[in-house]
Amino acid sequence: METDNPFCPIRQQAVPSAEELQDGGSDDPLNEQDISITPVLIRRYEGRAVFLISSECAMYCRFCNRKRMVGRGWDPGEFFEESFRYLSGDTTIREVILSGGDPFMIPPGLLDKILSRLRTMQHVKTIRISTRLPVVDPGRMTREHFTILKRHGPLWIVIHINHPREITPEFLENVRRFRGAGSVMVSQTVLLRNVNDCENILLKLFEALVSEGVKPYYLFQLDEVRGGRHFKVRLEKGIRIMKALRAKASGLAMPQYAVDITGGLGKVPVDYAYLKGRKGKKAYIENMSGATGIYTDDGDESRCKQCGLCK
């Protein structure tokens, strides 16, 4: 980090500034409190739940949508048993996302116990771990962590990474160790003003990740958290950036640009509208350079005959 450069992209994410005192935003922009089953278990979508197994992070991002709770010193362990009871009793839950805080901040032995409990639940088919620790404090990842991950694999590891400068040799070593443990790796990035709101910076980041076996998964519009307004990028600019990336990047390096709608309405994709219009069965579709072609849209509109569930 360039400690004497106020515009250093790492410094801006980590060091508090007076701009955080601006009005606007919410302590709980995604309204997680109203969809919490327990204080550490969140259920917004059918089929999956978010389990907050840690209240600590290796770096307190100034734009975090859980600033209201992380680093507050509360012990999530006291809520674990009621959370496990709910998870084991609701057989509609197919995926559990371990988050926090950062799941890798808890003792490795506790992480092992949590994964063991989840693996006893036959209805839980997928376990995802969302983390930033391998980026901001890669030395904290130990051999024991990777032994545990291999024991409970396959696991999906979602790495929060925002700028090419965060791709260090130590981070890349962790990526190789994750892959060696059989983990599947994807990334999520937050679009941040004066940090990464540039097609060239994001192209460099996403292509570097793909070259190391990490699939860019989400590019998130900033959540409307209190104190984060100065990081906001207009949606129109984000859409322009995505359009430019689509013309330059491999499909493997293209994340989904999404916004988590304020108030808890869920995340939706936001992208350039390539379908420009219709005339009869002709669909007029624009490419990345602005040229328009025609696709004959004469497929069968009858309902699905395969699953037996569609109405």
pTM: 0.92
Instruction: Look at residue 267 and give its three-state secondary structure.
Output: strand
Asked whether residue 1 is domain-assigned, the answer is no
- 193-235, pLDDT tens digit by residue? 999 999 999 999 999 999 999 999 999 999 999 999 999 999 9
- Sequence length of the chain is 311
Pick the more confident residue, 5 or 33.
33
Question: In terms of C-beta density within 10 A (0-12 exposed, 13-18 middle, 19 or more buried), how is residue 134 classed?
Answer: buried
CA distance 60 to 66: 10
140 near 110, Cβ under 8 Å? no
Structural domain includes residue 73:
yes
What confidence tier does 7 reach under pLDDT thresholds 50, 70, 90? Answer: confident
> Could you list the active site residues?
44-45, 48, 57, 61, 64, 66, 223, 260, 267
CATH of the domain at 17: 3.20.20.70
* Residue 2 maps to a domain: no
Asked if 46 and 95 sit in the same domain, the reply is yes
On average, the pLDDT of the chain sits at 93
252 within a domain of the structure (yes/no): yes
SS3 assignment, position 96: strand
pLDDT of residue 11: 95
298 falls in which pLDDT band (50, 70, 90)? Answer: confident
Q: Is residue 3 a part of any domain in this protein? A: no
- Nearest of 29, 58, 12 to residue 231 by alpha carbon: 12
- pLDDT band for position 1 (50/70/90)? low
Strands (E), the chain: 36-38, 41-42, 48-52, 95-99, 126-131, 156-160, 184-190, 215-220, 256-261, 266-269, 275-279, 282-286, 292-296
Indicate the number of domains in the chain.
2
| 291 plus 149 within the same structural domain | no
Cα separation, 212 vs 226, whole angstroms: 35
CA 66 to the chain's CA centroid: 13
For residues 266 and 301, state if they share a domain: no
On whether the CB atoms of residues 193 and 232 are closer than 8 A, the answer is yes
Reported in sequence order, the residue ranges of 161-212 that DSSP labels E, i.e. its strands, are 184-190
Residue 37: give the domain boundaries: 9-272
Is residue 71's pLDDT more than 90?
Answer: no
